[in-house]
A and B are shown apart, each in its own frame.
Chain A
Amino acid sequence: MATPGKNSDMTATETAAQPVRRLEWQLAQVREIVVETYRAKSLMLQVTNWQGHLPGQHVDLRLTAENGYQAQRSYSIGSPPEDDLLTVTVERVDDGEVSPYLVDDLRAGDQFELRGPIGRYFVWTVAKHGPLWLIAGGSGIAPLMAMLRHRARRMVRAPALLLYSSRSLEDVIYREELDMMARGDPDLRVVNTLTRKQPERWMGHRGRINRALLAEAGFPPKQNPKIYVCGPTPFVEDVSRLLVELGHDPLKIKTERFGPSGG
């Protein structure tokens, strides 16, 4: 059982009341839309009074229909704090309400409301010591990409590993940028695994991330890596359980799950 003062990221945060500043809704304008995959796009946004963010944080986005109907959803920020525009990457959930609109209908110049940044736990900056181990399932790559981009902008050479599970090569988001990042940085390894379909000459891993892959590709517990796992709920449940079984400290594993209804 956790007690205050114990060596733990989680309990150390229990504090007295802090000064309060409301996160106001702000106007975001779409400056550019980048096609990432056949069902994912990145929206590059100009936000009027953006106060900055940490890699890993997310925003709430609010759409208003002509009849006044409003819908809110959360999306991870994919851009690093160093960039001028704020990027969110959206993958279409076919029976969703907001993501099909964002992926299929939104155009450069369109505006909507946004507030954030939100979440101060699932964050990483170059100020954190030790190896960085990122494990992504599908569009769970987005907040982890903000960390990798931040690391690249700061030219940090602490060892980093991205283990990235996608259904097929066509589903890999940020593929070229990740390849380039890894080629230009001997301290960064990017390990892809494709679960459903592999190209004929695929030399990488096949199938889901399992215990053997985590043990073989990953940092051993004694190196005390900072671990971030993001993806669909079953993916995160599996991976984080296996990491604990391999001897990693549960308190060093930060997770972000998204459910099937995330659309």
Chain B
Amino acid sequence: MDETPISRGFKSRRQEQTPKNRVPPGQYVTADFPVLSAGPTPQIKLEDWNFTLQLGASLFGKWNWAEFESLLQTTIKTDIHCVTKWSKLDTTWQGVTFDDLLKTVGLAEPPAAYVMAHCDGGYTTNIPVADLIGGKGMIVTRYESLPIPPAHGGPARVLVPHLYFWKSAKWVRRLRFMEKDRRGFWESLGYHNYGDPWKEQRYDGD
């Protein structure tokens, strides 16, 4: 584009001016918690739920709900940014950090450089392990101190808040380590492979 067209008469209607360093480019702050999912919300019974860590054909971690709940819990307050343009500030989540999951199964180092998250309903998303370690990624089971409602990904979802929120996969059941990066669901359908909101990596090629 040579010149950006000006929309005469268009102006910001934002009432509070949120500090710019809190809101990535192209995003707006909402107080709501919109729901974006590609299919019906899975209705999962806790007694049928389990969560696994997988590398190749081997499972090296498997927890049922009670076992997962007994793992060391961490609470964080963070901003989240959805690729559909909304950002939500100061959301509080509780769950188990990726670091603690690795420790629990006795791994000093992550076994591969990439992870594919697999979810109920068939959803997948790929995340570099570097974006999960060092406290950057979690599997969360509480939102604002309460169980996560199914529409928002309960009973358990990934939380990687420094990437666009589609990477924080809802209804997660399995993290599969991969030697090579492969694209997940939205990443195969035109969305960016990495999804850094601060670089506005919404779609392929951004």
The interface of chain A, by Cβ under 8 A from chain B, is 1-3, 6, 8-11, 13-18, 20-27, 60, 62-67, 69-74, 96-97, 100-101, 105-106, 110-113, 118-122, 233, 237, 240-241, 243-244, 250-251, 253-255, 257-262
Contact = CB atoms under 8 A, between A and B. Distances in A.
Interface of B: 1, 4-14, 26, 28, 30-43, 84-86, 116, 118-124, 151, 173-174, 181-186, 188-190, 193, 202-206
Nearest to A100: B13
Nearest to A15: B188
A111 B182 contact: no
Contacts of B7: 63-65, 101, 106, 110, 112
A242 B35 CA distance: 18
A17 B193 contact: yes
Contact of B122 (A10, A74, A233): A10
Given A14-B183, A15-B182, A64-B4, A97 B40 contact: no
Given A2-B118, A73-B85, A255-B38, A10 B6 contact: no
Contacts, number: 172
B4 A121 contact: no
Contacts of A3: 118
A211 to B, nearest CB: 14
B1 A66 contact: no
A97 B34 contact: no
B173 A1 contact: yes
A1 B42 CA distance: 11
B151 A237 contact: yes
A127 to B, nearest CB: 17
A11 B122 contact: yes
A241 B40 contact: yes
Nearest to A260: B32
Contacts of A62: 26
A4 B84 CA distance: 27
A27 B4 CA distance: 8
B35 A257 contact: yes
A21 B38 contact: no
29 contacts: A1-B118, A1-B120, A1-B174, A2-B120, A10-B122, A10-B124, A13-B189, A14-B116, A14-B182, A17-B183, A18-B188, A21-B204, A24-B1, A66-B11, A97-B12, A110-B7, A240-B40, A244-B43, A250-B40, A250-B42, A251-B122, A254-B39, A257-B37, A258-B34, A259-B33, A259-B35, A259-B86, A260-B34, A261-B30
B183 A63 contact: no
A135 to B, nearest CB: 12
